[in-house]
Structure 1
Amino acid sequence: MMTTKQNTFKRLALPGAAALSLLLSACATTSPIQQTRSTFEAGLPTNWQNAASSNASPDTASLSEWWTRFDDPVLDALIETALEHNTDIRSALSAIRQARAERGLTQSELWPSLGASVGASGSETRNRETDRHTSSENYSAGLDASWEVDLFGQQRKYLEASEAELAASVESYHDVQVSLAAEVANNYLTLRSTESQLAIVRQNLESREKTQQIVEWQEQAGEGDALSTQQSLASVEQARAQIPALEQSVVELRNSLAILTGRSPQTFELLPNTEQGLPDAPAAIAVGIPAETLEQRPDVRASERGIEAASANLSAAERSRLPTLNLSGSIGIEALKAGDLFDPQQIIANVVAGLSAPIWDAGRISRNIEIQKENLTQAYLQYESTVLTALGEVENALSSIDKYSQQLSTLERASQAASEATQLAQLQYESGEADLLTVLDAQRTQLSLDQSRITTQAEALQAHVQLYKVLGGGWSNPTETSTL
């Protein structure tokens, strides 16, 4: 028997050519976006499957600045700086300006073109019989105008496509914002995790060095042997060997954050040198409902704009079969002297109108229409894929938060037990109730569990970051980009 979730996704999936034909045919009566949304939203679930186990709430008011939920001023400053100075952000802004210029170029095709010309000519003749010279001058100025009248709206459809492409470039800019904020947060959390692990290794190394000192004293006093001393020394050096790799990771992560914020590593001073550890996870998760996520995610919105552009281009291609009306005209002035141009003796004007329609073009128009139809089909399929991917990513992120939370709770208990076991083993060894191997084994276990705990804590926080990313959080209101 098919489950509820399977039924939901069956309704969401567009079954090949039949559903696409339905969507394409509906464009004649409704806008492509209205038809597309109604097709998908009819099968959307009302709630997320894994929301109940992840302490999720429907409040999405602060999704645009989700990083403030971690209550970490350094993280806030890093993301704000990156959103302003990152090179990918500036490149996306440049793409918006380019798309706006292209839209203006398409819009200019709706208006007549006007040109001006000024000319001058002169001649001189000589009569050989009378040896007389005569000369004449002629000056002219004129205006030429031409206009292809958009009788059946073909050019207006091209303008609609250009406007949709501009809107898609704005959504791509928002998508860059979303990805960048998440990348900065993940790098920052990894950095804090690495710094915490480095501190744990150094603390564990200090404990092992104290044990080694005791073993050496015992050997010098004749109460121990060289084997125990070497075993203790090996344990010390094993812990010490982890430090250079962790220090290198810290350097690389700091440099990555510098680049993400648009700074050179040499001038990057935004992060304090002190190790402050990982921030706390947000108390509640703002997830909203699936339909709101599709409204919020820039990649889904960009896919919608892609459908709009493809639909408009198809309509424009279909209008290529219809007649076109071309108007052209000119007005000119001729005078015998340059000064007489302002007091013309002769004005010449003409207007020409021509109506033309394609009769035979070797199938070029038909082939172009077929191309545009396939572009529209691909735009619908891209939208479908983006929607399904979005739904799956949110469910995965919610599940990850829940599972990492369970794993972290277990590791915290295990780490606490390992710490107490190490202390007890150390005391028993000093009192002669336990051997050295028990102490060394307890120290290794504690280090391993502490590192696993820190890694899992960072992964749990990164699961929150991933959730906010796949929910579409991290971009500003569309009205704020109107002046970009």
Structure 2
Amino acid sequence: MNSTCMASAVACFSVLSLSGCVMGPDFQVPDNPLASRWASTPSEAGHSGTRESAVDVRWWDSFADAQLSALVREAQTRNFDLQLAASRLEQSRAMRRQVAAEELPAVDGSVGYSRSRNSQRGLNDPSGNSGKQAFNLWSGGLGISWEADLWGRVKRSVEVADASVHMAEEDRHAVQLLVIVQTAQDYIELRSTQQGLAVIEQNLHIARRSLELTRLQLEEGVATDLEVSEAAAQVAEIQARLAPLQQHSAQLINALSLLLAREPRALQQQLSAPAAVPAYTATVPIGLPSELAQRRPDIRLAQARLHAATASIGIAEADFYPRITLSGNLGFQALQLSDVGSWGSRSFAFGPGVSVPLFEGGRLQGALQLQEGRQQEAGIGYQKTVLRAWHEVDDALVAYQASQRRRDSLQQAVEHNQRALDSVHQQYAQGTVDFLNVLTVQNALLANQAALVDSTAQVSLSLVGLYGALGGGWQG
């Protein structure tokens, strides 16, 4: 009899495993709606252009700035946001293992002992002593249960869990890309601020020399008190510009320290010495349109979210159908320890259980409609994400080219301002012009020099933004 039951159980498990079907639609990777070619702005003479080739995985190394590369490497190792994203990824993987366990039978073992005495007035005393004395009871056994996944509910649940793992992976990729871009941007802005400080200090030196010259001319009777006051005011005005930039420089160093999970001012000694703004002059590889969906973590995340929503429809549909659970146990029970394991102490039970939804008041239908609505929302979200990515890339390309044109124009303006300042200083020393002309020309030079420093940094910042829009960097 025992062998017959075991054979029946094996046969039921085999038949139910092979005869199951999977409810709901199968996920299909959406078509890539991107255009066939990049609508990039053509490069001009003296400008860094773009080309359709593989995006540099370690694009920050292309700036040839060892300090920048070191900061990016450390940020990817120490950043707290990345550590949090990695923790969320491990949690999603653990949840996936938990869901996948439903595909396998659950087996439980138990061993028990009790010393007890039944009532003399009770209905039953397993010891046969009619409740007149205590007895020992030894028991143990194995229990097994398994849900026959006839409609693919468990398979779809595992599919949703897999998609959730992919979502967590892409979330980590997105955080990694953001950390890289933010580190590069803060570093470039720091170097730009330091260069701006150098420009102001240079102009401050020129203004102080002008003040000395004006005082000498006052002593000689050539200049007036008004011109001395104007020169002194010019020195004070230029000097006042130093404090905000010094504050901004300190804040940027602290921002980089935070990205690297370090205490405030931890990088002060390392980054306080001024350095040039990182520049990139080679042709920029922007990849192929078909690769954008594989590089951008937000597009990959939207695709995984659509996958999860599609598989959830199958779970909702499977809930309309009966659930069949096979369960059984094999064990022993004896009053004496010496009888444990004997043939007479054996016990077993085996049988299927069926749960059929008869009346749910529209709950199952509502759950199905909800999942279908979520799939529709995820599909629209995917299309929106792809379109937004295309816009961001196009905007970044335009910004990169425009920033180069502005930088070149400002470079010419600074050269003309410098020649004009040299000329007006000679004329002022000769007494042919008043100090107002000197102030006007020097202010114009200072404004254009500051704008040139900002524009030079903006070229590099727009390139960092382009690489961020292209989704390059997290692959490393």
Distance 2:376 2:471 in 1: 25
Q: Structure 2 vs 1, CA of residues 163 and 126 (structure 1 numbering), >3 Å: closer, same or farther?
A: closer
Deviation track 1:323-375 (CA, whole Å, cap 9, x = no partner) reads 21111111121223224324454201110112332222111111100010011
Q: Structure 2 vs 1, CA of residues 429 and 372 (structure 1 numbering), >3 Å: closer, same or farther?
A: same
1:363 maps to what in 2? Answer: 362
2:28 maps to what in 1? Answer: 32
> Which one-letter code corresponds to 1:404 in the other structure?
S
Question: Which one of 41, 46, 49 corresponds to residue 39 of structure 2?
Answer: 49
Q: Give secondary structure in 2 for the equivalent of 1:95.
A: helix
Distance 2:214 2:117 in 1: 120
1:90 maps to what in 2? Answer: 83
Distance 1:197 1:162 in 2: 52
Question: Which one of 66, 69, 74 corresponds to residue 76 of structure 1?
Answer: 69
Question: Which one of 91, 107, 118 corresponds to residue 114 of structure 1?
Answer: 107
In the TM superposition, 1:443-454 aligns within 5 A as 443-454=442-453
Once the two structures are TM-superposed, the CA of residue 260 in structure 1 deviates from its matched residue by 0.9
Which shows bigger deviation, 51-60 or 415-424? 51-60
2:18 maps to what in 1? Answer: none
Once the two structures are TM-superposed, the CA of residue 390 in structure 1 deviates from its matched residue by 0.5
Once the two structures are TM-superposed, the CA of residue 135 in structure 1 deviates from its matched residue by 5.3
Deviation track 1:249-285 (CA, whole Å, cap 9, x = no partner) reads 1111110011011111243357333211212224111
1:215 maps to what in 2? Answer: 214
Distance 2:434 2:374 in 1: 75
User: How many residue pairs were aligned?
Assistant: 439
User: Is 2:24–2:317's contact at 8 Å kept on the other side of the alignment?
Assistant: no
In the TM superposition, 1:93-242 aligns within 5 A as 93-122=86-115, 136-242=135-241
Which shows bigger deviation, 267-276 or 90-99? 267-276
User: Is 1:329–1:349's contact at 8 Å kept on the other side of the alignment?
Assistant: yes
Q: Structure 2 vs 1, CA of residues 226 and 153 (structure 1 numbering), >3 Å: closer, same or farther?
A: same
Distance 1:106 1:28 in 2: 18
Which shows bigger deviation, 433-442 or 229-238? 433-442
Distance 2:396 2:111 in 1: 70
Once the two structures are TM-superposed, the CA of residue 134 in structure 1 deviates from its matched residue by 5.9
> Which one-letter code corresponds to 1:45 in the other structure?
A
User: Is 2:222–2:431's contact at 8 Å kept on the other side of the alignment?
Assistant: no
User: Is 2:393–2:470's contact at 8 Å kept on the other side of the alignment?
Assistant: yes
Q: Structure 2 vs 1, CA of residues 135 and 390 (structure 1 numbering), >3 Å: closer, same or farther?
A: closer
2:415 maps to what in 1? Answer: 416
Once the two structures are TM-superposed, the CA of residue 120 in structure 1 deviates from its matched residue by 2.8
2:129 maps to what in 1? Answer: none
User: Is 1:32–1:307's contact at 8 Å kept on the other side of the alignment?
Assistant: no
Distance 1:90 1:160 in 2: 26
Once the two structures are TM-superposed, the CA of residue 125 in structure 1 deviates from its matched residue by 9.8
2:424 maps to what in 1? Answer: 425
Deviation track 1:214-244 (CA, whole Å, cap 9, x = no partner) reads 1111112222221111011111111011011
Deviation track 1:181-236 (CA, whole Å, cap 9, x = no partner) reads 11111111111111101110010000000010011111122222211110111111
Deviation track 1:285-311 (CA, whole Å, cap 9, x = no partner) reads 111222211221110011111111111
Distance 2:101 2:230 in 1: 83
> Which one-letter code corresponds to 1:275 in the other structure?
P
Q: Structure 2 vs 1, CA of residues 339 and 431 (structure 1 numbering), >3 Å: closer, same or farther?
A: farther
In the TM superposition, 1:439-478 aligns within 5 A as 439-476=438-475
Match status 1:375 vs 2:374: yes
Across the aligned residues of Structure 1 and Structure 2, the Cα RMSD in angstroms comes to 2.1
Q: Give secondary structure in 1 for the equivalent of 2:294.
A: helix
User: Is 1:303–1:383's contact at 8 Å kept on the other side of the alignment?
Assistant: yes
Gaps of 5+ in 1: 1-26, 128-132, 478-484
Q: Structure 2 vs 1, CA of residues 122 and 271 (structure 1 numbering), >3 Å: closer, same or farther?
A: closer
In the TM superposition, 1:220-369 aligns within 5 A as 220-268=219-267, 271-343=270-342, 345-369=344-368
Q: Give secondary structure in 1 for the equivalent of 2:58.
A: helix
Q: Structure 2 vs 1, CA of residues 139 and 437 (structure 1 numbering), >3 Å: closer, same or farther?
A: same
Q: Give secondary structure in 2 for the equivalent of 1:114.
A: strand
Match status 1:59 vs 2:49: no
User: Is 2:424–2:433's contact at 8 Å kept on the other side of the alignment?
Assistant: yes
Distance 2:105 2:269 in 1: 55
Which shows bigger deviation, 149-158 or 282-291? 282-291
Once the two structures are TM-superposed, the CA of residue 151 in structure 1 deviates from its matched residue by 1.5
User: Is 1:74–1:271's contact at 8 Å kept on the other side of the alignment?
Assistant: no
User: Is 1:303–1:386's contact at 8 Å kept on the other side of the alignment?
Assistant: yes
Once the two structures are TM-superposed, the CA of residue 116 in structure 1 deviates from its matched residue by 2.5
User: Is 1:334–1:344's contact at 8 Å kept on the other side of the alignment?
Assistant: no
User: Is 1:407–1:456's contact at 8 Å kept on the other side of the alignment?
Assistant: yes
Once the two structures are TM-superposed, the CA of residue 124 in structure 1 deviates from its matched residue by 6.4
User: Is 1:335–1:344's contact at 8 Å kept on the other side of the alignment?
Assistant: no
> Which one-letter code corresponds to 1:107 in the other structure?
A
Q: Structure 2 vs 1, CA of residues 272 and 126 (structure 1 numbering), >3 Å: closer, same or farther?
A: closer
Q: Structure 2 vs 1, CA of residues 452 and 332 (structure 1 numbering), >3 Å: closer, same or farther?
A: same
TM-score normalised by length of structure 1? 0.87
Once the two structures are TM-superposed, the CA of residue 317 in structure 1 deviates from its matched residue by 0.8
> Which one-letter code corresponds to 2:404 in the other structure?
S
Distance 1:442 1:369 in 2: 74
Distance 1:47 1:124 in 2: 86
Gaps of 5+ in 2: 1-22, 121-131
